Amino acid sequence: KLAREILKIAERNLQDILSLLILNNGFVNKLEKNTDTINFLKFEKRIFGRSTKPRDKLIIYQVDSEELKVKYWELMKIYNQYEKDLEKIYREIKKNRRRIDKSETKKDMKKIEKEINNLLKQIENNSQNKEKIKNGLNTIFNTSIGIVEVKKLKNRSEFEDLVKEVQISKVKPSELTNVQFNSLFHAFKSVKYMSPPTDTAIPVGDVVLENTLIKEIGLRISANIDDFEDPIDDIKESIDVLRDEIIKESAKNYFSGKT
């Protein structure tokens, strides 16, 4: 269950990092400037290459309908606001954890812990609200009206790479990219260190990941989440070792279908 939760969080975060949202019927880019081009992508059966039979091909569309653009931006502005709200919540959690370090009584700790739990609930509500926005995007893009296929596109391969990278739940463990791996790393950190500060229970599978993080990369883990540092580029070999451990854990607990 831990690996499943880590994977879920990692994929959810990847969509925001890569600015590409996964919809039921395709993908749409997450934009902030209303002057940028809205692209909708989906797989369709097409005959291409040397094949004489239809195969799945990523088709890239641009939105050219003003009505569709308006509907998109109505939803996307709300989505982007939820993302900003989430950043504020994380800052509050870190601030409260620092307060716990300075607490002198159990009563104070309990009070702060309650505040953190409320913030964690806000995070869950935030995630649910973002999913509702995506459902709205599903609805407006469940049509071929208002979108035009882009047949000649210089950066087609970039879109194809993004689609592969954002779907971390579908990638083979041995093919994880650095961005996907780092997203797993941060998801692990959030699952472990955003639990109530007085909770000493360690979920199954957590020990392997945590011990490897400490042993192979030399990370410092303390009561302060800010002391839990990120992997950096100049420790590639250690990252590879850690990557292997997470791949094994993920393969055993999730990709095999087990919980």
pTM above 0.85, yes or no: no
Instruction: Give the integer Cα–Cα distance in Å for 82 and 137.
Output: 15
> Which residues does residue 46 pair with via DSSP β-bridges, in sequence order?
55
> Could you tell me where the DSSP H helices lie in 103-167?
106-140, 156-166
147 and 64 Cβ atoms separated by less than 8 Å = yes
Q: Give the model confidence (pLDDT) of 3-38 as tens digits.
A: 677 788 889 999 999 999 999 999 999 999 999 999
> Which residues fall within 8 angstroms of residue 213, CB to CB, at 6 or more apart?
188, 219, 221, 242
Q: Give the model confidence (pLDDT) of 110-134 as tens digits.
A: 898 889 889 888 988 999 999 999 9
Q: Give the model confidence (pLDDT) of 62-114 as tens digits.
A: 999 999 999 999 999 999 999 999 889 988 988 888 888 888 888 888 898 88
What is the phi/psi pair of residue 143, to 5°? -160, 160
Query: If we measure between CA atoms, which residue out of 232, 128, 183 comes closest to residue 18?
Result: 183
pLDDT at 51: 79
